[in-house]
């Protein structure tokens, strides 16, 4: 599958990216492929974990109800939980605010061998923080300030990549109408009531500002090496399928292999085989 179609392209406006799936794949086909990809991911993760050479950092961003949480649930199920660390970033605590903005996310970076998942990330610091002017003295329009933050993020990710932590950046792209449908479902479906947060309605009023902030963030942090993937997400089955395709490809690119067993270790294995076979 040609995933380059979903990579952020320079100069292309956010509103021109599709939120609906392309034609040519049915829900049934996508779900079957997702199942296959789960097995592939598990096999690749096993090697990643054994090798302990690289880590994968999956960064999930999107408006409220865009499907971040459920993608974690549905796509990553089947991986070895011991090799996965999920961290959700909410509004920072007083203690977190005493630090630089990437402090808390740095503490949560995955060690080599693991898959780290950031459900929201330091990108919030150029999104919600920008939209609501949460840094005193730096309003939404203070281009220089936000451009500098994006540069810091770009440099940070380049540093991570060069040190074996590979960022994979995913944006769940939904339409405003689809968000309304999902929020209504949270009101109408008793099983989803717990998910309803009045704050989501408040944030929805800033939809256009968020789209602008996302656009700016993508423009300056999507690179050839560490691109943003913009997933058409009005259909959850499609976004999940696509996420699984991206993860398989990104894991393959790391070429994880089981560690090579040294001659010395082989001799040791033979020694213990003999002992065990003698019934000890």
Footprint of Mg ion (CB under 5 A): 64, 197
Cβ contact 117:73 at 8 Å = no
By the rule CB under 6 A, 149 interacts with ligand AMP = no
# residues near ligand AMP by CB under 6 A = 11
| 8/221 Cα distance (integer angstroms) | 10
By the rule CB under 6 A, 93 interacts with ligand AMP = no
Nearest to ligand AMP of 34, 58 (CB atom): 58
**C-alpha distances in Å from residue 122, one per residue of 44, 154, 174, 183, 259:** 27, 11, 21, 25, 33
Query: Choosing among Mg ion, ligand AMP, none, which partner's interface includes residue 120 (Cβ < 5 to 8 Å by kind)?
Result: ligand AMP
Query: Choosing among Mg ion, ligand AMP, none, which partner's interface includes residue 245 (Cβ < 5 to 8 Å by kind)?
Result: none
98: DSSP letter: T
Task: Report the nearest approach of Mg ion to the CB of residue 89 (Å).
Answer: 12
Binding track over 94-133 against ligand AMP, x by CB under 6 A:
--------------------------x---xx--xx----
Residue 117 sits at φ, ψ, to 5 deg, of: -120, 125
| 7/195 Cα distance (integer angstroms) | 30
Task: Report the nearest approach of Mg ion to the CB of residue 122 (Å).
Answer: 18
| 53/36 Cα distance (integer angstroms) | 25
**Residues engaged in binding ligand AMP (CB under 6 A):** 64, 89-92, 120, 124-125, 128-129, 134
């Amino acid at each position: 599958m040609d995933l380059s179609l979903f990579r952020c392209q320079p100069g292309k406006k956010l509103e021109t990216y599709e939120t609906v799936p392309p034609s040519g794949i049915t829900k049934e086909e996508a779900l079957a492929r997702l199942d296959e990809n789960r097995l592939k991911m598990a096999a690749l993760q096993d090697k990643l974990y054994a090798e302990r050479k690289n880590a994968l950092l999956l960064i999930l961003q999107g408006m409220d109800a865009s499907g971040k949480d459920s993608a974690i649930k549905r796509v990553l199920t089947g991986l070895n939980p011991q090799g996965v660390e999920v961290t959700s970033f909410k509004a920072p605590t007083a203690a977190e605010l005493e630090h630089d903005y990437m402090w808390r996310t740095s503490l949560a970076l995955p060690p080599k061998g693991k898959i780290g998942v950031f459900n929201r990330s330091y990108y919030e610091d150029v999104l919600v923080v920008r939209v609501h002017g949460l840094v005193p003295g730096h309003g939404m329009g203070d281009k220089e300030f936000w451009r500098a933050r994006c540069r810091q993020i770009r440099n940070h990710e380049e540093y991570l990549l060069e040190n074996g932590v590979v960022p994979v950046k995913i944006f769940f792209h939904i339409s405003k109408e689809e968000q309304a449908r999902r929020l209504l479902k949270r009101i109408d479906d008793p099983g989803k009531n717990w998910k309803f947060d009045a704050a989501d309605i408040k944030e929805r009023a800033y939809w256009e500002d968020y789209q602008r902030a996302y656009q700016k963030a993508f423009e300056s942090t999507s690179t050839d090496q560490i691109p943003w993937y913009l997933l058409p997400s009005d259909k959850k089955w499609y976004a999940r399928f696509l996420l699984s395709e991206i993860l398989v490809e990104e894991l393959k690119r790391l070429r994880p292999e089981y560690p090579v067993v040294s001659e010395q270790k082989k001799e040791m294995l033979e020694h213990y085989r003999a002992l065990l076979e003698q019934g000890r």
